[in-house]
Amino acid sequence: MVLKKDDDARSEKKRRKVNFSTIDVGVEANDCIKFFLVSSHEEMDRSEGSGVQVDMNQFFGEDGKIYGYKDLKIHIWLSIISYHAYAVVTFESKLDGSKGITNVDQVLKNIFGESLISEKDDFAQTFSRERHYIRDIVSTAEVLKKYSSEDEVVRLKLNEPSVGKLYSRLIPVLLLLVEGSSPVDTTDPRWEIYLAVRKAVDQSGDIHCLLLGFATIYHFYHYPDASRLRIGQILVLPPYQGSGHGRQLLESVNAVAVSGEDIYDVTIEEPSEYLQHLRDCVDTVHLLSFEPIKLCISSMSSKLKQGGLMKKDQKVRFSPSASIVEEARKGLKITKKQFRRCWDVLVYLSLDPNDSCSTENFKTCLSNRLSSEVFEKDSDIRGKCVVDIPNKYGPEKTFVMFRSNSMGEASTLSADIAKSKAGEEEQLKQLVEVRMKEIVGVADKVAANCKKLGIQPFQ
């Protein structure tokens, strides 16, 4: 019997060792979680084979893994009617009582908060019980733009109780779909939210309202008597992406800025790569019809068409004048930095795509400007050495600076500088390639839109 107990103890120890190795390895959250956006309880059963791509790893520790479960599956449904959530967690086995086990239920509560519903029947009832949730909130909103028979952009104050409650339900969507996002303070009266909504009338004459996307806007004080509109967050929900709703939200913000005498300019807080691309397209289109810039673009285009421009001898000023930048800021509320991005696209659009000479000159000027912006600010310290000179009064405050020559330690320094310059040239080449890709991408999109409208840029 003693031997039998020892065998059982060894077997139990071995079993527990195998199970705890599962905890040590874990499983990435993205591999076991599926996320669905649904507009009815019937869609829940039809959505099993598909889902929205979201990064769930960010919510599960530094390594993004879930520990202590075998064959773990988590399905999460989010209602795009009321923005309640419902989750189902299943697994083959779980190690109970271990400190290493991930508390999945608690993590889900941390993400969805009060909008998380524990019972499927209760979740299903929200589709009918709150079918007019969005409609009731936007019923008193200011309509900023109606861009189709059903779609429009409206504006609301975030510190209004019902609007703040809606935003609290949208926070999980932001956290899941917008990388690096964080909630804003809904009690601050300077926050607004712009909603892109779709209003449709059913056969009985009842009006239904769907939320397509939204943007949060903050009014910053700008000395002495103006305010700066900053777009904090902007998101179009996955079912409605690719249909121009994000552009309509941006256009609405710009329209509010241009129409307001006390608005200084419009900025965006840490825009994603796609949002920056969209903003470049929108602002470039606005600048195409901005009369003060046309002569400047024409002059720049003419210079780029005149022969080859050698990098060392290049004297063409590639940046717009300060006065033009200021006029664009006053007339279109475009910031200096954003204007310069659009300037590159406008100059590129003014060139003949079949003229390889002017295109090459464009790249040369762009390269020189990027080099000046990124590297030349440090050129005054290259080739200089600093040597401490000890003395009895203040050894830590005394030094001599001299420029190196080709002898002794200066020779080593010169070699280091040569390596540094080679590295800078490679970095500059990569910067130019990236920027050219951005410029061409925006230019192609703008040119396509102009073609649809029968507009010929700068011709």
- Opening angle at CA 334, ends 329 and 335, nearest 5: 85
Spell out the residues 6+ positions from residue 77 whose beta carbon is closer than 8 angstroms to its own. Answer: 36, 37, 38, 44, 47, 85, 86, 87, 123
Q: Do domains 19-129 and 133-270 have the same CATH topology?
A: no
Q: How far apart are the first and last CA of the chain?
A: 99
Q: Return the pLDDT at 458.
A: 62
Q: Return the pLDDT at 22.
A: 47
Higher pLDDT, 407 or 357: 357
Spell out the residues 6+ positions from residue 222 whose beta carbon is closer than 8 angstroms to its own. Answer: 228, 264
In the block, residue with structure tokens 């005394």:
398
Mean pLDDT of 125-136: 95
Which band of pLDDT confidence, cut at 50, 70 and 90, is reported for residue 152? very high
For residue 140, the 8-state DSSP code is T
CA distance 137 to 169: 13
CA distance 167 to 352: 48
Question: What topology is assigned to 19-129 in CATH?
Answer: Histone Acetyltransferase; domain 1 (3.90.360)
Residue 227 near residue 219, CB atoms below 8 Å = yes
H or E element, residue 157: strand 151-157
Q: Which residues are catalytic?
A: 269
H or E element, residue 271: none
CA distance 345 to 291: 16
Regarding pTM above 0.95, the answer is no
Residue spans per domain, the chain: 19-129, 133-270, 295-453
In the block, residue with structure tokens 């190196």:
404
Residue 247 near residue 449, CB atoms below 8 Å = no
Question: Is residue 283 exposed (0-12), middle (13-18) or buried (19+ Cβ within 10 Å)?
Answer: buried
For residue 37, the 8-state DSSP code is E
Q: What digits encode the pLDDT tens for the residues 285-319?
A: 999 989 999 999 998 888 888 765 555 445 556 78
| CATH of 133-270 among 3.40.630.30, 3.30.2350.10, 3.30.365.10, 1.10.1060.10 | 3.40.630.30
Mean pLDDT of 8-22: 47
